[in-house]
């Protein structure tokens, strides 16, 4: 594995392609996070609010995206993490997680991060400022 | 009603970065890295202990802001930001509170901005976060917000 701090502007971390989103994924996240909003787990409740079916918690997707950086906690940590939720994530969607280096500084690295679905549509996008240890 | 709550804060609530919960949370986002869950790995890491994933503060109790009632449906999570001074350590005590930062309306929709922060027992900030919640036009009308 290439060291994070060897990366140059425009280079990417290795993409991660998730397994198709399952109901169990969302039930587990509801339990772990305490977010039991039924639009994430119960079809009828989702439909009542006008959705075609249950949708993933935005925070589930945001949590997944951060794992691109997890192998690098010896080099630094995520100091700032900003996400805009752009589109809904449905059951069986296949998400690809991406991070591209925007800027490398003495003290930190800036990344553009996003997740796209199987149709290439961005579902979340944002940025990560990764503070690097001396 | 929502405008009136701008600037209001909850009392601080004590939370623990609980080992079992960190493990469960890491698993739920498909991120069971040993830095989060393996005690030996944590001990040998530069932190000397396991840490929590950056979106873990979702699980904390931030207390209630007096008089603030958000509708229970028609809310859309628009944006989320975290800022960290350092990662959260497994087992540590965090004192959390929430503050209503802003409420404004644009194109019929309401935008509600919450700040949520966590401090160590000495009152030093460890993380702060900002959440933008969009209240849809339909719900805003029904609730007379």
| CATH code, domain carrying A66 | 3.10.129.10
**B25, closest residue in chain A (CA to CA):** A32
Structural domain contains residue A35: no
CA angle B51, A60, B9 (to 5 degrees): 75
The pLDDT of residue B69 is 83
Query: What are the respective helix, strand and coil percentages of chain B, to the nearest 5?
Result: 25, 35, 40
Inside any domain, residue A28: no
CATH code at B87? 3.10.129.10
Q: What is the pLDDT of residue A49?
A: 85
- Nearest one of A27, A36, A33 to B60, comparing CA atoms: A33
φ/ψ of residue A62, rounded to 5: -65, -40
Look at residue A17 and tell me whether its pLDDT is greater than 80: yes
Q: Note which residues in 30-49 of chain B have CB less than 8 A from chain A.
A: 30-31, 33, 35-36, 45-47
Left if phi > 0, otherwise alpha if psi is -120 to 50, otherwise beta: which for B92? Answer: beta
Q: Write b or e for each residue in B80-96: b if 16 or more Cβ atoms lie within 10 A of its Cβ, otherwise e.
A: bbbbbeebbbbebebbb
For testing contact with chain A, the best of B18, B20, B24, B30 (most A CBs within 10 A): B30
C-alpha angle B63-B68-B72 in degrees, rounded to nearest 5: 95
Total domain count for chain B? Answer: 1
Assigned domain for A41 exists: no
Q: Is residue A24 part of a domain?
A: no
Which residues of chain B from 95 to 124 reach within 8 Å of chain A, CB to CB?
Answer: none
Domain count, chain A: 1
- Give the tokens for residue B74: 């028609």
* A47 found inside a domain: no
More confident residue, A51 or A22: A22
Of the given ranges (A75-89, A110-124, B65-79), which has the lowest mean pLDDT?
B65-79
For residue B142, the model assigns a pLDDT of 76
Domain presence at residue A25: no
What is the pLDDT at residue B145? 66
- Give how far B1 is from chain A: nearest CA, Å: 24
Domain that holds residue B88: 3-143
Q: Does A101 map to a domain?
A: yes
Q: Rounded CA gap, B141 and B54, in Å?
A: 36
Please name the residue of chain B whose CA is at the shortest distance from the CA of residue A30. Answer: B28
Beta carbons of B81 and A80 less than 8 Å apart = yes
Whole-number percent of chain B with pLDDT over 70:
99
Low-confidence ranges of chain B (pLDDT < 50): none
Residue of A nearest to B127 (CA): A79
Cα dihedral sign for B102, B88, A73, A67? Answer: negative
Q: Nearest by CB to B58, which of A33, A80, A82? A: A33
pLDDT at site A2: 66
Q: Which residue of A has its CA nearest to B30?
A: A64
Structural domain harbouring A111: 4-19+60-132
A38-80 pLDDT, tens digit each: 999 999 999 988 899 999 999 999 999 999 999 999 999 999 9
pTM over 0.80? The answer is yes
């Amino acid at each position: 594995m290439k060291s994070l701090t060897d990366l140059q502007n425009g280079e990417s971390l290795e993409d991660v392609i998730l397994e198709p989103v399952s109901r169990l994924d969302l039930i587990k996240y509801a339990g772990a996070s305490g977010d039991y909003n039924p639009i994430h787990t119960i079809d009828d409740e989702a439909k009542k609010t006008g959705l075609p079916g249950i949708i993933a918690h935005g925070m589930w997707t945001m949590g997944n995206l951060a794992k691109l950086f997890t192998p690098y906690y010896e080099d630094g940590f995520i100091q700032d993490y900003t996400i805009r939720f752009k589109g809904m994530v449905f059951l069986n969607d296949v998400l690809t997680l991406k991070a591209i280096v925007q800027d490398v500084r003495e003290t930190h690295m800036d990344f553009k991060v996003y997740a796209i679905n199987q149709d290439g549509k961005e579902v979340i996008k944002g940025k990560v400022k990764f503070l690097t240890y001396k | 009603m929502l405008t009136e709550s701008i600037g209001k804060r909850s009392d601080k609530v004590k939370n623990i970065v609980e080992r079992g919960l960190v493990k469960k949370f890491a698993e739920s986002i498909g991120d069971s890295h040993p830095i989060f869950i393996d005690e030996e790995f944590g001990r040998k890491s530069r932190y000397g202990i396991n840490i929590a994933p950056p979106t873990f503060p979702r699980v904390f109790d931030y207390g209630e802001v007096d008089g603030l009632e958000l509708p229970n449906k028609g809310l859309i999570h628009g944006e989320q930001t975290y800022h960290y001074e350092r990662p959260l350590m497994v087992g540590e005590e965090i004192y959390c509170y929430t503050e209503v930062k802003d409420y404004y309306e644009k194109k019929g929709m309401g935008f509600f901005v919450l700040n949520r922060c966590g401090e160590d027992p000495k009152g030093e900030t460890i993380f702060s976060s900002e959440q933008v919640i969009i209240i849809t036009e339909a719900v805003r009308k029904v609730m007379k917000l």
